[in-house]
Amino acid sequence: MLRLRVDWAWLIPIPILAFVAKLILLEGSAGTFGDWIPGRYNWEGKLLAIILFLGVVAALFRNKLSFVGLTWSQDGPFRNIALCLALFCAVSWGAASIFQFPGVRSAPLSDVLYQFTMPTLEEERWYRGILLAMLFKGFDQAREQGAPVLTTVLAVLVSSLSFWGAHAIGTDGNWGVLFDVSGHLIAGAFGLIWAVIRVGTGSLLLPMLLHTWTNTAGYII
């Protein structure tokens, strides 16, 4: 049996960063940072989490931004498959929005702008950017042992499960924890698909566009 060696210096900080980011988001929801932008969404927590992740990118990957998907290039290892998958996702979600949720949604401008920007900028930067990059770094030794497919699949699954967990776990506003196992399965499915596209293209561009489309299609069609 292949014993996979990992670099714990890259893996141990992952849950710490995830905890800090989640704490920032929860404190933002609780109003700890004030109410900079009116509306019902957590602008403050998202903006501070984005700043945190930009700092992490600058500290760890400033000389290799493409490693966290910050590149326009779409020259990943299975680009054509990823592009077809992205097109399928965009069309199928558009169709679902038309037939399952008829009518264009209306909301205050600040709420619409939030959905067009904050979830994509914060969540893609972490789940399909920094998290995947740190997992790949941590698994580098195992990849060199001859298990590149296994470690890639493992990294994608960890990223996807983390994305699902972040949507399934919430708070009741009084630091009580809520855990909706099945209600956010679609978020986990999207997280898996977007992670595959990210690896396939080598870029965060398509996952970011798809994430934004998923959150905002109801405001457009």
* Amino acid of residue 150: L
What is the reported pLDDT for 38?
Answer: 83
pLDDT, position 62 = 94
pLDDT means per 10 residues in the chain (221 residues)?
76 96 91 89 96 97 94 94 96 90 84 95 97 91 62 92 86 66 81 96 97 94 85
Q: Are 221 and 96 in contact (CB under 8 A)?
A: no
Q: Write the single-letter amino acid at 11.
A: L
Which 3-state string (H, E, C) describes 55-88?
HHHHHHCCCCHHHHCCCCCCCCCCHHHHHHHHHH
pLDDT at 21: 96
79, 65 contact by CB (below 8 A): no
Q: Where are the domains of the chain?
A: 8-220
Other Cβ atoms less than 10 A from the Cβ of 187: the count is: 18
Kindly give the residue spans of alpha helices, DSSP state H, lying in the chain.
8-11, 13-29, 43-60, 79-100, 109-119, 131-138, 140-144, 148-168, 185-201, 205-220
- Distance between CA atoms of 41 and 33, rounded to whole angstroms? 13
Q: Which of 2, 3, 11 is nearest to 139 (CA)?
A: 11
SS3 169: strand
Q: Rounded to whole angstroms, how far apart are CA atoms 28 and 197?
A: 30
The confidence score (pLDDT) of residue 1 equals 43
